[in-house]
A and B are shown apart, each in its own frame.
Chain A
Amino acid sequence: MKSGKFWAWVVFIVGAAYFFIPLLATVEFSLRMRRGVHSFDAYQIVLGDARFQSTFLYSVVAAVFTIILGVLIVVPAAYWIRLRLPQLRPIVEFITLLPLVIPAIVIVFGYIRMYGSNSPLPFLGSNLGANALLVIGYATLALPYMYRAVDTGLRTIDVRTLTEAAQILGAGWGTIIGRVILPNVLIAVLSGAFLTFAIVIGEFTMASLLNRPAFGPYLQNIGANRAYEPAALAIIAFAITWGCMSLIQILSRFAPKSANRPN
């Protein structure tokens, strides 16, 4: 074996060990609930817990609404910037990066100050309002991922020519976005959607400070009070995230081939 290849394998094995040993240790620990034997007791307890089901369902619903809101904001914005306002791209990219720089706790405190029950927009005065505010907050947190995914998708198609081709055939903006642009960036949108899903499922700060019954605070609560169940929950959360990533890979195989550019 050539020395280059040998060292490549060494680096790969060390890297893999760095990621997988803690994961395997967590799996192993989560199976130790029953003394002396390995069992799925911790998983049974977690999955059977009514709070697990309700908080998980809440977060799934919140994730779905976050994805819808994100798509409605990001797709037309990214499309319009590519089509008509390319000079604004650096500014918009900077804005979309802000949620990575500004901690969620700062954003949520801002929300509480701005939308408290005594404010002109009392989102926090009702359950529905607080839920809506949480979804808005999540859409903000997911913005860097959603925007980049959609923008990358738009880069693979000739947005201007496709738009003009649809326009000259009589299409209005709704038809152009719905029937031409969105289907051609659907895989990118789905990538953004799954990343959003993964973020929302595990998010703690916003849900906790807005006092929402989401999966993140439940995870934290279990982690603080139990021994084996948090390990089982971590593995479940990891499996969900991993499943989302795999779905992105699978769906990307069905992306429409880009044939709109000449050879």
Chain B
Amino acid sequence: MAEPFLSIQHVRKSYGSNTVVQDFSLDVEPGEFVSFLGPSGCGKTTVLRMVAGFEEPSAGKIVVAGKDITRLKPNQRNVGMVFQAYALFPNLTVAQNIAFGLKVAGMSKADADKRVAEMLDMIKLPQMADRYPYQLSGGQQQRIALARAIAPKPKLLLLDEPLSALDAKVRVSLREEIRSIQKKLGITTIFVTHDQEEALSISDRIAVMYGGKAEQVGTPFEIYNRPATKFVANFVGTLNVLEGTVTDAAAGTVRVNSEQVSLKGKLNGSKSGDTLSLALRPEAISLGRQPGRDSSLSGEISEVHFLGSVIRVRVGIGGNTVSLDTFNSPATPPPAVGEKAEISFSSSDMLVLH
């Protein structure tokens, strides 16, 4: 395996007796886009701030391109960062903001002007050079902040919830723009977010964090389809959780609401009589028996929400409620509340949460 570009090694951060990051390790490949995903207070921003140099780790090491940067000051790290609050300098124009890092680095005016023009072209705002930050929209300000961070050609780009303050539409377009610029420049990037859709849509890999630890690190596909822990399964995507009892551990059968489901090979370590939490994504469930689905459960429709192209149906199964989506078909009326219903799924899609 190639040498990682960024290596965070057993990093810990404590404030007095309160440990906010515990034994966090992660290797990031050159040019990789890695997201730290987690709820507020999970330590994702603290790890990012330790990489930036704004916080000093209580233990552990941070290595960039083979060089230990753990004790370096932020202005010695050659790292670019985009903040949630934009952090453009209000007294400087757009061009002066982008040129700030270049001037600090001692670049000549002619070279700096050329680089600023390149950056403005890259973010498609060449006409904004002489505007002040207060004359720009939130999305424009954040693009300028991105250009300012990239202009000095940093080794590493850190994005601290850069889209959180923007409205939904701008958020989607800007995240695509960020990803395309990152790919074009091939810059290694860490992106902090609490928005799973954001993380899933633009990352090469995601580190899902909880309680100061990385619960799981993997590709968006792995994180979504094979969550390693109950927390990851619950946090990423919508999940239906059913309680089941192991009836035959050797055969891998589980009883869910008086019906048997075969989960061979997934019950590692469970004994007969154990109660398990089983999870199913809504898109893995069909209403009625469908070919190719080897398991089914019976219940009663408790709620129906017509959402236009999709109809969200909730089915009560014993003490559990399962949510599933079906496509709207103009020829077929939606199911009615109180109707008996059968749901089917492939047992291979069922997750056993540990």
Task: Tell me if B299 counts as interface (CB < 8 A to partner A).
Answer: no
Q: Is A161's CB under 8 angstroms from B85's CB?
A: yes
Task: Tell me if B80 counts as interface (CB < 8 A to partner A).
Answer: yes
* Chain A residues with CB under 8 A of B104: 169-171, 175
CA A161 to CA B138, docked complex, whole Å: 16
* Chain B residues with CB under 8 A of A172: 75
Q: With CB as the reference atom, state the residue of chain B lying closest to A258.
A: B90
Q: Are A261 and B75 also in contact (CB < 8 A) when A169-B152, A183-B91 are?
A: no
Task: Tell me if B168 counts as interface (CB < 8 A to partner A).
Answer: no
* Chain B residues with CB under 8 A of A184: 89-91
0/1 interface trace, chain B 83-121, chain A, CB 8 Å (1 if under): 111111111000000001100110000000000000000
* Chain B residues with CB under 8 A of A183: 91
Tell me the dominant secondary structure on chain B's binding face: loop
Q: Which of these, B75, B87, B152, contacts A161 with CB under 8 Å?
A: B87
Total interface residues in chain B, CB < 8 Å: 35
* Chain B residues with CB under 8 A of A257: 90, 132-134
Task: Tell me if B221 counts as interface (CB < 8 A to partner A).
Answer: no
Q: Is A170's CB under 8 angstroms from B87's CB?
A: no
| Best-surrounded residue of B73, B101, B138 (most CB of chain A within 10 A) | B101
Q: Shortest beta-carbon distance, B111 to chain A, in Å? A: 16
CA A212 to CA B346, docked complex, whole Å: 95
0/1 interface trace, chain B 143-166, chain A, CB 8 Å (1 if under): 000001100100000000000110
Q: Shortest beta-carbon distance, A158 to chain B, in Å? A: 6
Q: Is B90's CB under 8 angstroms from A164's CB?
A: no
Q: Are A259 and B133 also in contact (CB < 8 A) when A167-B75, A172-B75 are?
A: yes
| Best-surrounded residue of A164, A165, A179 (most CB of chain B within 10 A) | A165
Q: Are A256 and B132 also in contact (CB < 8 A) when A161-B87, A169-B101 are?
A: yes
* Chain A residues with CB under 8 A of B105: 170
Instruction: List which A188-231 residues lie within 8 A (CB) of chain B.
Output: none
Q: Is A168's CB under 8 angstroms from B80's CB?
A: yes
Q: Is B90's CB under 8 angstroms from A262's CB?
A: no
Task: Tell me if A69 counts as interface (CB < 8 A to partner B).
Answer: no
Q: Is B136's CB under 8 angstroms from A168's CB?
A: no
Q: Is B89's CB under 8 angstroms from A162's CB?
A: yes
CA A179 to CA B89, docked complex, whole Å: 9
Q: Is A171's CB under 8 angstroms from B132's CB?
A: no
Q: Shortest beta-carbon distance, A252 to chain B, in Å? A: 15
Q: Shortest beta-carbon distance, A228 to chain B, in Å? A: 48
Q: Is A165's CB under 8 angstroms from B132's CB?
A: no
Instruction: List which A75-115 residues lie within 8 A (CB) of chain B.
Output: none
Interchain residue pairs with CB less than 8 A apart (9): A157-B90, A164-B81, A169-B100, A169-B148, A170-B75, A184-B91, A260-B133, A262-B164, A262-B165
Measured CB to CB, the residues of B under 8 A from A are 52-54, 73-75, 77-81, 83-91, 100-101, 104-105, 132-134, 136, 138, 141, 148-149, 152, 164-165
